[in-house]
Amino acid sequence: MPAPFDERDRARIRAELLASGRELFVAQGLRKTSLAELTASAGIAKTSFYAFFDAKESLYGELMLANAPAIRSRLLATLDGEPRAAIGAFLRAVLAVLDEDPLYRRLITHPAELAAVTARLSPERAAELHEQAMPPIGEFLARTGLTGRRPEVVLGLLRAVLLLPLHRNEFGEVYDEVAEQMIEFVATGLTR
């Protein structure tokens, strides 16, 4: 029976698994990424993967949680000032995150992967991810007096804008203009 990993080995292997997970999940997705591919750079057996994560989805979830505080901070910074401008800034910032972070973009453009990852998170980790990744948009709407609409409708409208990256290729060269107009329509409509 092999000796257990010491603390330094565990830290190195975990970092290697996270790095290879980020690279592989972005390049080929959750389902097509094998345990052998994930463990190769860490120099461990496939079965040793489970000493670090209980599933590939858990590794993916940890990658999301690692990025969540920075994304939350970035999005919170937009929720200030005049409501229409703040909603527009928030939506632009979320679309920018999706453009700049291939891991989050992959999840949004592959809903089955997002469902698989979130289903494997413990209720506590799922709540942590939701809290970290989603700024208190409801609080912002209440603070600005935009509570005259059903919250689920408002969130649905905001989410509708975030579905645009799913169709980027269909819009082609007018994607940026379509996204900007959609943001303006939603922000203006919500604040009328």
Give tens-digit pLDDT for 59-115: 998 998 888 888 888 888 888 888 889 989 999 998 999 888 898 888 877 888 888
For residue 156, the model assigns a pLDDT of: 83
Q: Is the pTM of this model over 0.85?
A: no
Contact status, residue 57 vs residue 30, Cβ threshold 8 Å: yes
Quickly tell me which residue has 């645009």 as its tokens: 164
The pLDDT, as a whole number, for residue 65 is 86
Q: What is the C-alpha separation between 19 and 79, in angstroms, rounded?
A: 32
What pLDDT does residue 1 have? 46
